A and B are shown apart, each in its own frame.
Chain A
Amino acid sequence: MTLLNVERIKLFSTRSPYWCLAAIAAASLGFATLFGLVENGEAALPYIFLRGVGLGMSIYMVLAALAITTEYRFGTIRNTFLGVPRRAAVLLAKTVLLALIGAVVGLVAALASYFLAKALAQDPPVPLELSTWDDWRQVVGYGAIFAIAAVIAVSVGTIVRQSAGAIAILLLWPLIIESLFTLIPTVGEKVGPWLPFAASDKIVAPTTGIANLFQPGGGPDALQGLLVFAGTAVVLWLIALLLLQKRDA
């Protein structure tokens, strides 16, 4: 708890997290508003109008990566280690804090966007009801996605120790690298959906109804997607921990 508190003080005593959180809110709610209003909400499928929250995940990864890379940029990582020489504990506290905040941010952003779109859309293609677990999953799944993405971001930030590098990796990986991989004949098609960020999308992807038409066939189901994404995070985190222990601060 002590170390979580330390990380909390550090995180919220600089400006960048507030900007990132504001950007996440703008992206999530903006997208929901757009889809709720345009054409009376004819295109307001949860999977579609929650894409803004998906964009928010990228922004949250920037926030989480900066939480560690700025410590290297400004040298405060040394002050941190001088106070707590057990580096594993430091990394764990930072990761847990950002994952927890990520879960809350993802959840709140998704729920707020959902109810905003629901309130705005007069003629949605499917009834916007949260009745079955499958309905819920497509919204609350963002909590899990944000939390796991935060772990990946902290790990990448710890590994590369450099803001620009970490952010480039975290943005290009889901947006470009995985898409390019899918272009490889045969293999790309089969393995592509199992790549971490593609798999993470399955956590909130619909499995039935019209919305399912947007989904490529094959690949993991929601639980498998969650496991692939979480597994990636764990592996990266362990690599980060190993490097953190071995390297000079």
Chain B
Amino acid sequence: MIEAIGLTKRYGSTVAVDDLSFTVQPGMVTGFLGPNGAGKSTTMRMVLGLDNPTSGRALIDGKRYAALHRPLTQVGSLLDANWVHPNRSARAHLRFMAASNKLPARRVDEVLELVGLSSVARKAVGKFSLGMKQRLGLAGALLGDPQVLLFDEPVNGLDPEGIYWIRTFMKNLAAQGRTVFVSSHLLSEMALTADHLIVIGRGRLIADAATTDFIAQATRSSIRVRSPRLTDLRAALIGANLQVVDSAPGAVAALEVLDAPIEQVGELAGAAGITLHELTAQQGSLEEAFIQLTGDSVEYGGSRAGAPGGAAPPGSSFRPSGSPPPGGPLVPGGAPTGPPAATGPISPAPQDGPR
């Protein structure tokens, strides 16, 4: 179990982490979500005793990291896969970590086998691809067979196969009853991996909820209808006290009905004898929900044109419904209405936190 109690970190006048309190439970994957620069890495570093909090505490099973005996046997972490000496072999890298916690060299070979790096164990790490370094970092985290695991943006820069592999790995670790705390700036990724979410923005807690609840709450649903008799349809819907919004100019003429059961919309149209060309239930994408929630707390956001809710960043990697949020500007094909937001899933530079 990981606990943060009033955790605060200041760099000069910048507050990177602001009075953050949360608990991470064992037996599930807990996602730690926030835009770049929200303070995720800083928080993890404080939990691991690398950074000293300005105030507050971070505890692992009730103890500060520094007070842990043979910490690698209790806590495993992968904060940055590039924390390796390029001329050192993968095996030597793990061997010094193992030796520091009195773990046998045999264990090093075991974890190398586990992550599939046995064949390159004696190669210099500098020649490794990012995916291989991630695996090496994971091997390091697993060295002491710890009950608590922390991963900082583990899927960044990985190919789909690597992402799938890490995701499955984390789920398995949690299924074994371990505490798995994984940060990401991708809600879509967390939706697939995490059972529980802790969401922060600008160092402050925004949400602490089960992933399904968070997504249900954050993404509003709407019904999209098209009809040759749009005006009559609008009148019928408004007559039934439903909230109706026109689609954005330039797009195919359509109506968005907010917070209504899809059956009701169909029945109303049927009763009025109006032909429908389309009747679709839509859910706002996860990214949009995320941007909406953290919108005020983006540290390095580009300016975003458009109404509240913002437009989805172009080419969102994963969008359950592929639709802009109801009430937001409707744009054909979900094209961007402004520069991509820093929170976008394809935004480059996974650099996180003030350094």
Contact of A136 with B by CB under 8 A: no
Question: Are A13 and B96 in contact, CB atoms less than 8 angstroms apart?
Answer: yes
Q: Could you tell me the distance between the alpha carbons of A246 and B52 in the complex, rounded to whole angstroms?
A: 8
Q: Which chain B residues (77-120) contact chain A, with CB distance < 8 Å? A: 77, 79-80, 82-89, 92-93, 95-97, 99-102
Question: Are A9 and B96 in contact, CB atoms less than 8 angstroms apart?
Answer: yes
Q: How far is the CB of A123 from chain B (nearest CB, A)?
A: 47
Contact of A6 with B by CB under 8 A: yes
Q: B99 to chain A: which residues have CB within 8 Å?
A: 2, 5-6, 9
Q: B97 to chain A: which residues have CB within 8 Å?
A: 79, 82-83
The residue in chain B whose Cβ has the minimal distance to the Cβ of A7 is: B96
Chain B residues within 8 Å of chain A by Cβ, number: 32
Question: Are B45 and A82 in contact, CB atoms less than 8 angstroms apart?
Answer: no
Question: Are A248 and B83 in contact, CB atoms less than 8 angstroms apart?
Answer: no
Question: Are B50 and A81 in contact, CB atoms less than 8 angstroms apart?
Answer: yes
Question: Are B100 and A2 in contact, CB atoms less than 8 angstroms apart?
Answer: yes
- Of residues B51, B86, B88, B140, which shows the largest number of chain A Cβ atoms within 10 Å of its Cβ? B88
Q: Could you tell me the distance between the alpha carbons of A227 and B50 in the complex, rounded to whole angstroms?
A: 36
Contact of B68 with A by CB under 8 A: yes
Question: Are B84 and A74 in contact, CB atoms less than 8 angstroms apart?
Answer: yes
Q: A79 to chain B: which residues have CB within 8 Å?
A: 83, 93, 96-97, 140
Q: How far is the CB of B79 from chain A (nearest CB, A)?
A: 7
Q: Could you tell me the distance between the alpha carbons of A3 and B96 in the complex, rounded to whole angstroms?
A: 9
Q: How far is the CB of A7 from chain B (nearest CB, A)?
A: 8
- The answer to whether residues A82 and B96 also contact, given A14-B85, A14-B87, A70-B85 and a CB cut-off of 8 A, is no
Main secondary structure of the interface of A (DSSP, over half): helix
Q: How far is the CB of B120 from chain A (nearest CB, A)?
A: 15
Q: How far is the CB of A227 from chain B (nearest CB, A)?
A: 34
Q: Could you tell me the distance between the alpha carbons of A70 and B86 in the complex, rounded to whole angstroms?
A: 10
Q: B140 to chain A: which residues have CB within 8 Å?
A: 79
The residue in chain A whose Cβ has the minimal distance to the Cβ of B48 is: A82
Contact of A249 with B by CB under 8 A: yes
- Of residues A79, A81, A85, which shows the largest number of chain B Cβ atoms within 10 Å of its Cβ? A79
Contact of B252 with A by CB under 8 A: no
Q: A82 to chain B: which residues have CB within 8 Å?
A: 48-50, 71-72, 77, 97
Q: Could you tell me the distance between the alpha carbons of A83 and B66 in the complex, rounded to whole angstroms?
A: 10
Contact of B65 with A by CB under 8 A: yes
Question: Are A76 and B85 in contact, CB atoms less than 8 angstroms apart?
Answer: yes
Q: Could you tell me the distance between the alpha carbons of A10 and B92 in the complex, rounded to whole angstroms?
A: 8
Q: How far is the CB of B157 from chain A (nearest CB, A)?
A: 16
Question: Are B80 and A83 in contact, CB atoms less than 8 angstroms apart?
Answer: no
The residue in chain A whose Cβ has the minimal distance to the Cβ of B94 is: A79
Q: How far is the CB of A83 from chain B (nearest CB, A)?
A: 3
Contact of A84 with B by CB under 8 A: yes
Q: How far is the CB of A225 from chain B (nearest CB, A)?
A: 36
Q: B85 to chain A: which residues have CB within 8 Å?
A: 13-14, 70, 74, 76
- Of residues B68, B83, B100, which shows the largest number of chain A Cβ atoms within 10 Å of its Cβ? B100
Q: How far is the CB of B310 from chain A (nearest CB, A)?
A: 34
The listed residue (B45, B84, B86) touching A248 by CB distance below 8 A is: B45
The residue in chain A whose Cβ has the minimal distance to the Cβ of B76 is: A82
Question: Are A76 and B79 in contact, CB atoms less than 8 angstroms apart?
Answer: no
Question: Top 7 closest A-B pairs, CB basis?
Answer: A83-B100, A75-B83, A13-B92, A248-B51, A85-B66, A9-B96, A249-B50
- Given A2-B99, A14-B85, 16 additional A-B pairs, CB 8 A: A2-B100, A9-B95, A9-B96, A13-B89, A13-B93, A13-B96, A74-B85, A75-B83, A76-B83, A79-B140, A80-B96, A80-B100, A82-B50, A85-B66, A249-B45, A249-B50
Can you give 28 contacting A-B residue pairs, CB < 8 Å? A2-B102, A6-B99, A9-B96, A10-B88, A13-B89, A13-B95, A13-B96, A14-B87, A74-B82, A76-B93, A78-B79, A78-B80, A79-B93, A80-B96, A80-B100, A81-B50, A82-B50, A82-B71, A82-B77, A82-B97, A83-B71, A83-B72, A83-B96, A83-B101, A84-B71, A84-B100, A248-B45, A249-B45
